Structure 1
Amino acid sequence: MSKTRSEGTLPVVSLPLPVDVTAPAVARQAVRTTLASLGLEGPAVDDVLLATSELVTNAFEHGEKPDRLEVEYAEGRLTLRVFDSGSDRPKLKEPSPMAARSRGLQLVHALSEDWGHEPCAGGKFVWAVFSLHRADARA
């Protein structure tokens, strides 16, 4: 992780993303490390990691250029934010049974408590929120 800034009493971890196909793997590993440092483990973490991959892949493929990933954890809620330089709004599409792709946001929608997008300086960010409690996450 490259930097941490404090918002309130809890840190927001921010990671610059590479502008190549390694971005999803880099993001996934960084989120895994961050969650482990918070004492979060187990099946719920796997959902967060899959959503991380999907959000970063979408930023890489549709957002013109991924910029950074932010992870924030407070009061049992984990928020992922993926920033990119694109202005196009993400669209939740019904995937065709024959399509090999276009299921990323469907997965994020199914795995997260909520998700959305917001414009920001230089583009937009797509966010997803997960309920993730330390006691629930330990096996």
Structure 2
Amino acid sequence: MPEAASSETMRTVVPLQRDPGSCAEVRALVTSLLADWGMPEDLVRDAVLVANELVANAVEHGAGPVWFGLSRTGNGIRMETGDGSAELPRLRSTGPADERHRGLVIVGALSSAWGTEHRPDGKVVWATMSA
């Protein structure tokens, strides 16, 4: 797992439990940090939703330890989740009546860019957003 950095570097990494309650923890963290960083309310609102989807996918479909990272990047942010599974997420086709499998569609719609990275200890799914 990556190391947590100090607030001076404007990067935070937190370990998470493999539990749906981790989504609420990350929503609160993102809301608080982005407010501290002076980010606009619309970015905060969308970032909370993207972070929730990233973490929900890692908790539900990942393996091993899960973590969440948030960094300030100039006038935007980068969020990432990591877990111990090497299996990368994939977009799924959904219909209007489907209640699940929309997470990456939401991430793609709200973020500037998103992607995945293989790591020796699993994978990272990331998203960037601009203010």
Which residue number corresponds to residue 26 of structure 1?
25
- Deviation by residue 1:43-83 (Cα, 9 ceiling, x = unmatched): 22111000000000000111124521111112112000101
Give 1:60-99 correspondences, 5 Å limit: 60-65=59-64, 67-99=66-98
CA distance in 1, matches of 2:119, 2:48: 24
Structure 2 match to 1:51: 50
Unaligned runs of 5+ in 1: 133-139
Is 1:105 matched up with 2:100?
no
State the secondary structure of the residue aligned to 1:92. Answer: coil
2:4 aligns with 3
Give the letter for the 1:120 counterpart: R
Give deviations 1:31-52, integer Å, cap 9, x for gaps: 1111111112412211100000
Structure 2 unaligned spans of 5+:
none
Residues in 2 aligned to 1:98 and 1:75: alpha-carbon distance in whole angstroms:
39
Q: TM-score, normalised by structure 2?
A: 0.90
Tell me how far 1:98 sits from its aligned partner. Answer: 2.2
Q: Distance in 1 between matches of 2:33 and 2:104?
A: 23
Letter in 2 for 1:69: F
Query: Normalising to structure 1: TM-score of the pair?
Result: 0.85
Equivalent-residue separation in structure 2 for 1:130 and 1:79 (angstroms): 7
**Does the Cα contact within 8 Å between 1:119 and 1:125 map onto a contact in 2?**
yes
Pairs aligned (count): 129
Give yes or no for contact 1:60–1:66 (8 Å, CA) kept in 2: no
Q: Which residue of 2 aligns with 1:125?
A: 124
Give secondary structure in 1 for the equivalent of 2:19: coil
Please state how far the C-alpha of 1:90 moved relative to its aligned partner: 0.8
User: Which residue in 2 is equivalent to 1:135?
Assistant: none
